[in-house]
Amino acid sequence: MNIFIFLCIILWGISTFLNRLSVERMSPFLMQMVAAVVFVAYVPLCLKITNIGNPLTYKWSAYSVGLTITATIISILANIFLYQSLKGSQTTGSSTMLISLYPVVTLLLSALFLNEQLTVTKIIGVMAMVAGAILLSLK
């Protein structure tokens, strides 16, 4: 397995756990505002650390910017729904297991719009993911 995917899984798991702790004391909308402030502070730091130069000198695509803005808005809404579902929940793990099915949506959209091939192996994998998430979320 790619080390970056493994690290992503670990970091998302830790992030969801920390957000579950936070949502008990803060509104999901306020949590998104705090996240936005962190991102604003992170950008200059990231540019400095990576030494990639001035991003304003890069070639920008209006289409890509529009897609990124749309994806960001959808992600913010998804995070708010996640935080709201975690608030007061005693089933954080189970809820997160169901939420982790979002790659199935990505795969289906990729097959529909990007012509990604849905092989028998991928279909079996999707069915196993769905079945596993349901089984793990049962009480």
Tens-place pLDDT, residues 43-55:
888 888 887 777 7
**pLDDT value for 1:** 59
Residue ranges per structural domain of the chain: 3-90, 101-139
Report the sign of the C-alpha dihedral through residues 52, 15, 2, 68, in that order: negative
Please, what is the average pLDDT of the chain?
A: 85
By percentage, how much of the chain surpasses pLDDT 70?
99
SS3 track for 24-87 = CCCCHHHHHHHHHHHHHHHHHHHHHHHCCCCHHHCCCCHHHHHHHHHHHHHHHHHHHHHHHHHC
> What pLDDT does 117 receive?
92
Q: Specify which of 10-14, 30-34, 51-55, 57-61 reaches the highest per-range mean pLDDT.
A: 30-34
| Average pLDDT rounded to a whole number, residues 51-71 | 84
pLDDT digits (tens, 9 = 90+) for 69-101: 999 999 899 888 888 888 877 777 777 777 778
